[in-house]
Amino acid sequence: MFCCRHLFFIFLLLGSCTSTSIITVDEPLSDGHDNVLVSSGESFVLGFFSPGNSSRRYVGIWYNKVSEQTVVWVANRNNPITNNSGVLSLDKTGNLVLFDSQKPDVVVWSTNVSSLSSFGESNYSAELLDTGNLVVHNSKNKGFVWQSFDFPTDTLLPDMKFGVDRRSGLNRFLTSWKSSDNPEAGSYSYMIDINGSVPQLFLYKDKDPFWRGGSWNGLRWTGVPELRSNFIFKVSYVDNAEEVSIVYGMLNASIISRMVLNESTGTIQRSTWHPGDHRWDNFWSAPQDQCDYFSHCGVYGDCSLYNSGEYECKCLPGFEPKSPRDWYLRDGSQGCVQKQNSQLCRNGEGFVQLAEVKLPDTTKTKLDMNLGNKACAELCLKNCSCTGYSGADVRGGGFSGCITWYDKLVDLREYSRGGQDFYIRVDAVELAKNTKKSKRIQGYVKVLVPVLLSAVIFVLFALAYWLITKRKKALRRKEGMMWFQNDTNKRGISVHGSSMEEEVDEIETSNVDVKFYTLSTIIDATENFSLANKVGEGGFGSVYKGKLRNGQEIAVKRLSNTSGQGIEEFRNEVTLIAKLQHRNLVRLFGYCIQREEKMLIYEYLPNKGLDCFLFDKEKKSVLDWKKRFDITLGIARGMVYLHHDSRLRIIHRDLKASNVLLDLNLNPKISDFGMARIFGNNQVEETTRRVVGTYGYMSPEYAMEGLFSIKSDVFSFGVMLLEIITGRKNSSYQSENFINMIGHVWDLWGESNALEIVDPALGNTHEYDSEILRCIHIALLCVQESAAARPSMSEVVFMLCNEISLQPPGQAAFLLRTANRGLTNTSSGSVGGVSVNDYTISTVEGR
């Protein structure tokens, strides 16, 4: 290729130059299609571009190996060139200068570094590095005299320093683009704020706090428990007399990663590029939920998403709502005030520990790194203005350094894990109340431990006695006494007599209304499990239609030995369903468990499962949109009952179309509670090492971390709602060029083409388009990557029944099956909320 030298006008006439990584005084860069700088490793490109549909020209840096042009830095973001006559060159002082060749005397943009010419103009050059950093350096000085990394726009790249240089005052922060086709500085800025004794991470909107990442505690920002050093990137944080900065470095250089401030969503997002899918996948963003917004619950308010459907805001110990009326209306902006007659100055006050929280705003605090927990508490008590304290460094799980607060406490929130302990100052009355609770719990422990130990010993002795007795009976039983054998003429079981010596295991059902059926009764009702009465089959076994002697029709779920549902799951299902009564839950009549047989006896529903209609080319036409919506609403109401309204809080853990049965009028009834779990009234989530359920319906936090909650069921409901709308199984998209159904819908939603997914079997649905779009919107809210951001099922029912304005859905989660039959989360993927697309789990039990 030809490279321009000597006369500058020749360069302009040719308008073409070799794609190198360097600009010199003799080799400028002019606007032209082929005129770009390419970094030495071909990772980044610098050149002129026009964003979106704009005709304005900018100098920017973008990825070279990303199929869609993704700009990471813009030189003249606030001063575009209106034609294609731009030139970027080094002037005689060594500064990079951008100008319009038609107006060569007007500087559009410049690095504007003073006193560079002392080395001589021929010694300066500008180079695009493979990190995405544009630098100006000279041959006599190994350092950079200027670098684009010091002046970021909306993107933070790996190894880019982010923060404040205390010596020079240089502040490296992000500012969003004004719009997708206008890189001018927008409304949002993301920076480290060094006001106060402890630096904090902030996202501002129009210079007002919008989200706060909190202070650095030695491991992470207190408001960002997900982002810390891990197996994907390393974090380097510096806070000294010279600077406050943080650098994120990738451990695997082949992973393309960035952090970008998005104007349209008002979020800071960390994402990675997946070349095979040609897409950016976000694995962290903020704000994610209502508790993330700055001071959502006002002063002395605490925000929690774990209040079991109640208002997320509550007052801190010793405080009460300033405006009870607004609080009742779920407006916590006015915050809380100290309770009347509280005495917080040398009147026997103390501290109440708030565990797993984001520390309050540290703008008005003091820091002493030489104090531990006890000394920190004593320091705070000596000053009546001190409102609370916490540790500054929690590395190693200890308490090192002391932060004390001297103003109103603002912007606290609770986390399920990854938070930090904060100690709030309370008066003697509040302290006694909390101390009494603590002592009561300790007292319970002292009493219950020996009682439970004695009970366990008693149960073990009783169990041993029962096993010995049962063994003796079995030995005395005649070998020839068999209460069923295979019939030679038809599949099933033939009875030889009705001896009452059949071995029977009865489940404890004294507190539930459920009946035990003998094997002979079931054999008689199903005509010896004849093929004519077989109505279904799955991984669990077979289902048979039957009729009792009183004329009652029943459905018999006969579990196979290879179903994976053992005696515990069987007992679980019997005792759970018997206690639940709701029109949208299947009714259990009884059970039969004898020898190797385990059977459940249900009400007979002639239309089988929802999947038999939804995924059948001929039958699906029976389900018009109105019926599908009614089915959706019925399922949602059944789940509300399980999660909130029943005597027990039930997490289903295997909600899917085949586990929703349809009655004669196509009304839905949720079934199959073998994998369900009971939660306590105050229990939010639980972790298990045994992940069970069905691929495609499991939430990412459950599939990959074993963490399940009511929000896990919400995710499954969202997947099923999309199947109801599309008339296709989630798994059916794997054979096509899509991540999966969720990924396909997410793409179309982003392109405003979501109605393309509607099942063609529905025909003309124009009159229902708004309702269908609302359902798609609700489904995407349900399958958000963040469990906390997903709505509760009661909120889902409210959204389905009311035409209200819905918040935009956050990043959806995409789960893929990998080659070793495990699962991969291409969106959020790992412990701590960090993602790689090769992180798998292989302990999933298919149903």
Banded pLDDT at 194 (limits 50, 70, 90): very high
Tracing tokens 């003697």 back to the chain, one arrives at: 428
Q: Tell me whether residue 410 is in a domain.
A: yes
Percent share of the chain, pLDDT over 70: 79
Please give the single-letter amino acid code of residue 363. T
Q: Tell me whether residue 473 is in a domain.
A: no
For residues 562-569, give the mean pLDDT: 59
Residues 689 and 828 reside in one and the same domain: yes
Q: What angle do CA 610, 611, 613 make, to 5 degrees?
A: 75
Comparing 127-131, 237-241, 516-520, 654-658, the range with the smallest average pLDDT is 516-520
Q: Tell me whether residue 45 is in a domain.
A: yes
Residues 617 and 591 reside in one and the same domain: no
Q: What is the DSSP letter of 641?
A: I
Number of domains into which the chain is organized: 5
Q: Tell me whether residue 471 is in a domain.
A: no
Q: What is the DSSP string of 806-829?
A: -PPP-PBP-EEE-TTS-EEESSS-
CATH number of the domain at 31, please: 2.90.10.10
Identify any residues that bridge with 425 across adjacent strands, giving them in sequence order.
Answer: 351
For residues 247-266, give the mean pLDDT: 89
Residues 137 and 45 reside in one and the same domain: yes
Q: Tell me whether residue 808 is in a domain.
A: yes
Q: Do 727 and 761 contact (CB within 8 A), yes or no?
A: yes
Residues 823 and 723 reside in one and the same domain: yes
For residues 620-626, give the mean pLDDT: 92
Residues 629 and 765 reside in one and the same domain: yes
Residues 283 and 355 reside in one and the same domain: no
Boundary-marking domain end, from 426, 447, 464: 426
Annotation-wise, does 557 bind a ligand?
yes
Residues 830 and 696 reside in one and the same domain: yes
Q: Tell me whether residue 708 is in a domain.
A: yes
Nearest to 782, CA basis, from 626, 572, 561, 632: 632
What is the model's pLDDT at position 363?
94
What is the model's pLDDT at position 846?
34
Nearest to 728, CA basis, from 750, 753, 759, 698: 759
Q: Tell me whether residue 438 is in a domain.
A: no
- The token duo for 566 is 């053992």
**Radius of gyration (Cα) for the chain, nearest Å?**
33
Tracing tokens 């993301």 back to the chain, one arrives at: 190
Collapsing DSSP to helix, strand or coil, 533 comes out as helix
What is the model's pLDDT at position 735?
54
Banded pLDDT at 778 (limits 50, 70, 90): very high
What is the model's pLDDT at position 502?
39
- Whether 654 sits among the annotated catalytic residues: the reply is yes
Boundary-marking domain end, from 604, 639, 664: 604
Residues 79 and 99 reside in one and the same domain: yes
What is the model's pLDDT at position 130?
95
Banded pLDDT at 844 (limits 50, 70, 90): very low
Encode pLDDT of 427-457 as tens digits: 999 998 876 555 554 554 555 667 677 777 7
Identify any residues that bridge with 686 across adjacent strands, giving them in sequence order.
Answer: 708
Strand pairing of 649-651 and 660-662? unpaired
For residues 659-675, give the mean pLDDT: 87
Q: Tell me whether residue 467 is in a domain.
A: no
Banded pLDDT at 835 (limits 50, 70, 90): very low
Does residue 656 carry a pLDDT above 60?
yes
C-alpha to C-alpha distance for 653 and 691, rounded to whole angstroms = 10
CATH number of the domain at 764, please: 1.10.510.10
Encode pLDDT of 337-368 as tens digits: 999 888 888 888 999 999 999 999 999 999 99
Residues 792 and 671 reside in one and the same domain: yes
Residues 704 and 836 reside in one and the same domain: yes
Q: How many residues does the chain have?
A: 847
Identify any residues that bridge with 598 across adjacent strands, giving them in sequence order.
Answer: 593
Q: What is the pTM of this model?
A: 0.56
Boundary-marking domain end, from 288, 315, 342: 288
Q: What angle do CA 344, 357, 391 make, to 5 degrees?
A: 70
Find the catalytic residue in 154, 292, 654, 672: 654
Does residue 614 carry a pLDDT above 80?
yes
Residues 655 and 755 reside in one and the same domain: yes
What is the model's pLDDT at position 342?
85
Residues 229 and 83 reside in one and the same domain: no
Please give the single-letter amino acid code of residue 131. T
Q: Do 400 and 369 contact (CB within 8 A), yes or no?
A: yes
Range of the domain at 820: 611-841
CATH number of the domain at 560, please: 3.30.200.20
C-alpha to C-alpha distance for 420 and 348, rounded to whole angstroms = 26
